Amino acid sequence: MTTPEDSRQLQACLPGLRRYARALVGGLQADDLVQDTVERAWRKLDQWQRGGEMRPWLFSIMHNLHLDQLRRPGLALQELDDDSVLPAPERAPGQAIAIGEMDAALARLPLGQREVILLVALEQMPYEQVAATLDIPIGTVMSRLSRGRDKLRTLLDGRPAGSQGSGPPTLKVVK
């Protein structure tokens, strides 16, 4: 049986779910993922352990739905951007480029690393909640976060994605 408190908690989690979904899949797919998450959560509200925090439970549902969508072949859709009519928010000249570069670099990360980075950095979830959300050990969270951050640094520094080492590239003197 649902209570007004259940509804309030679920509504309070919506902005975070939207942020995470947009960073994970982008655009209209993100809206669909949020809607599917809320629908499933509402139907299975009796499975949520009251007294606990609803946020990790909702993010777990979203994570599982996203994995299901990746496994299932879908229709090729072209996204229509309703926001393109609106004026762009004012930014410093290089900020849009930096955001685009970060978005592209995040998209190149393996899914596991991208999910952990987004939950820790974007949603500011503690490692314990990330582990519970993704149903992985906390050590795996820390490992994926570390490897993901290293790979992001590499990608944003302009080195090829497969290059190793944290130092500058080795140069060869040709005479």
Could you please state the CATH topology (level 3) that the domain comprising 100-158 is classified under. Arc Repressor Mutant, subunit A (1.10.10)
CA–CA separation, 17 vs 137, rounded Å? 22
- Considering the segment(s) 1-79 as one domain, its CATH architecture is Orthogonal Bundle (1.10)
Q: Is the pLDDT of residue 159 over 70?
A: no
What local confidence, expressed as pLDDT, does residue 146 receive? 94
**Nearest to 33, CA basis, from 44, 22, 48, 46:** 22
Task: Classify each residue of 47-76 as buried b or exposed e, where b means 16 or more C-beta atoms within 10 Å of its C-beta.
Answer: ebeeeeebbbbbbbbbbebbeeeeeeeeee
What local confidence, expressed as pLDDT, does residue 40 receive? 93
Per residue in 86-103, pLDDT (tens digit) is: 445 555 656 666 777 888
> Which segments of the chain belong to CATH 1.10.1740?
1-79
> Which segments of the chain belong to CATH 1.10.10.10?
100-158
Work out whether the CA dihedral 115, 120, 122, 124 comes out positive or negative.
positive
Per residue in 111-148, pLDDT (tens digit) is: 999 999 999 998 899 999 999 999 999 999 999 999 99
Indicate the pTM of the whole model.
0.59
Per residue in 53-83, pLDDT (tens digit) is: 889 999 999 999 998 888 877 655 555 555 5
- By the 8 A CB rule, do 151 and 164 touch? no
What local confidence, expressed as pLDDT, does residue 112 receive? 93
